[in-house]
Structure 1
Amino acid sequence: MDIAMDQVVEFAQMWGLKAVAALTIFIVGRIAAKILRNTLRKALHRINVDEMLVSFASNIAYVLLLIVVIIAALNQLGVQTTSFIAILGAAGLAVGLALQGSLANFAAGVMIIIFRPFHVGDFIDAGGSTGTVEEIEIFTTKMKTPDNKLIIIPNSQITSGSITNFSAKDTRRIDLVIGVSYSDDLGKVKSVLESILNDDQRILKDPAPTIGVLALADSSINFAVRPWVKSADYWTTLFDLNKIIKERFDQEGISIPFPQQDVHLHQIKHPVAA
């Protein structure tokens, strides 16, 4: 009887110590996981990462750390965790293969949010579409086209190609090609163009606009007209300049030629039959 009681006491002491050690590992590990989660959250906030990504990344990190803590606690109890880890690895691989495209979009979304090639409200050309960015999500980016269509583009499609951000800079250059007739006075044409640009308050003085002969084309002499404006004034200034240049040229007697061809007819005289 005494021997059996000693075995029970010894068994209780052994497993009791293991249970206490496992419980301690779990409690301390859980506290450490929360601290690391909060530290990660603060670090992401410090670099101005999107709140949605902060929440998602910190929660994923906490869950992964908690799994490690649970495995360590079970191992302390004597539970064989090798097969459990193998099952988790196989499950993770299967999920990764099934969600390969989604994971690529997620990774691309993280890169967009961290490196900020564009922001909400920017007018961009990316992923084969052009529009104003309305929302940057984990898997997709929403854009609104100038004609008010909503485009949802996978993030991986955006990061896999070039991104043109028209709103990234405060100023933009308008590139106009204005053709005039070969019979027009080039000095007068340049003077009229300079007057038009000087009269428009939206045209920036620095950098100064460029006006020069660009090419001697087939039907016209082409002038390059390149003024600088604020990015917000780009389209309205472009439209107004086209209209004003046409009207001023009409007033000044400067012609804007259109492509034309001269056709020469040759008459062939046939010999008169005898």
Structure 2
Amino acid sequence: MTLETNYITAYADYFTNKIIEYSPVAISAFVILFVGLYAIRIINRFMRKLMVKQNLDPTLTKFLADILLWILRGLLFVTVIDKLGIGTTSFVTILATMGFAIGMSLQGSLSNFAGGILIILFKPFKVGDTIEAQGVMATVLEIQIFVTKLVTGNNQTIFVPNGALSNGTITNYSMQGTRRADLTIAISYGTDLKKAKDIITNVLSQDTKVLTTPVAEVSVKNLTDSAIQLAVRPWAKTEDYAAVVASTLENCKLAFDEAGIVFQPFVSELSNTKKPEQQ
């Protein structure tokens, strides 16, 4: 019983001495940790303000600030474990191996990550733009690192992976600021062509949302077996495009009705189709 008591006393003294010996190191490591976290917070906030003053894109600002935040946290973590006396060489090797394994299993996610970086850097579109890509036409709500968030005209939210988005064809309807509507109005051969064109031109000139520059175009597009097809091409601001298309068609119909001109209905062309031989 005396022997066991001596062992217990010896172990207690040993652990007490180790705690006393290690306490300054542990305290200094925790001080470095808390001071480092506070300093990282200040640095990150300062860099965000600096990038905002430089008029950087908000998405790019957030992305760079987040990358800086995690790099600084990683450096702080390595500093703290080194201060605690833990070997950083083997630890970094383990992290590198884990990173490689994770990277191999998340190739698709890494592709989306790289796509997000390309989109943010090269800016084929920005938040608020109307785009068509991957079979979807919608307005950009948010550009995230892995996906781009879109909203359609009927208020459906769509998430498109950045990898596929950056590698595919993107049509940006908002980048130029203006759009041309390509409409077709068909009239019969018995209609006064000049009168019809004058009516359409007058309708476009009275629409305040139709731009005067570039000038709207009204011309003969095609002569079919059943109708004269007129190309009506007004220009509008991107945000007014849908309204201009709707008002042009409606006002042309009302003006034609007043003038006694009838829209020629679509007729399937059969002139080049051989009739089956009768038995």
Aligned letter for 1:52?
A: K
Aligned equivalents of 2:169, 2:128: Cα separation in 1: 19
Between the aligned residues of both structures, percent identity stands at: 39
Find the counterpart in structure 1 of residue 214 from structure 2: 207
Aligned length: 236
Cα distance change of structure 1 residues 64 and 49 upon mapping to structure 2, 3 Å threshold: farther
Summarize the Cα distance change of 1:144–1:59 in structure 2 as closer, same or farther, 3 Å threshold. same
1:224 is paired with a residue of what secondary structure? strand
Conservation of the 8 A alpha-carbon contact between 2:47 and 2:65: no
Q: What's the CA shift for 1:250?
A: 2.1
Cα distance between partner residues in 2 of 1:261 and 1:132: 38
Q: Per the alignment, do residues 66 and 233 of structure 1 end up closer, same or farther by CA in structure 2, a change over 3 Å counting?
A: same
2:179 is aligned to: 172
Counterpart of 2:62 in structure 1: which amino acid? M
1:56 corresponds, among 66, 70, 94, to 66
Alignment-derived partner of residue 256 in structure 2: 249
- Equivalence for 1:146: 153
Select which of 92, 96, 99 maps to 2:103: 96
Structure 2: gaps (5+ residues): 1-24, 272-277
The 3-state SS of whatever aligns with 2:103 is helix
SS of corresponding position for 1:138: coil
Which digits, 9 at most, give the CA deviation of each residue in 1:223-254, with x for residues without a partner?
A: 11111112221111111111111222222222
Q: Structure 2 CA distance, aligned partners of 1:261 and 1:108?
A: 47
Alpha-carbon separation, structure 1, partners of 2:75 and 2:62: 20
Matches of residues 7-156 of structure 1 in structure 2 within 5 Å?
46=54, 47-50=56-59, 51-65=61-75, 83-156=90-163
**Are residues 260 and 53 of structure 1, via their aligned partners in 2, closer, same or farther at CA, if it must alter by over 3 Å?**
closer
Give me the whole-angstrom Cα distance separating, in 2, the residues matched to 1:184 and 1:116: 49
| Further displaced range: 103-112 or 55-64 | 55-64
Bigger radius of gyration among the two = 1
Q: Which amino acid is the alignment partner of residue 53 of structure 1?
A: F
TM (normalized to structure 2)? 0.70
For 1:143 and 1:127, the matched residues in 2 are separated by 12
- The 8 Å contact of residues 48 and 62 in structure 2, kept in 1 or not, is answered as no
Contact 2:129 2:174 (C-alpha < 8 Å) held by counterparts: yes
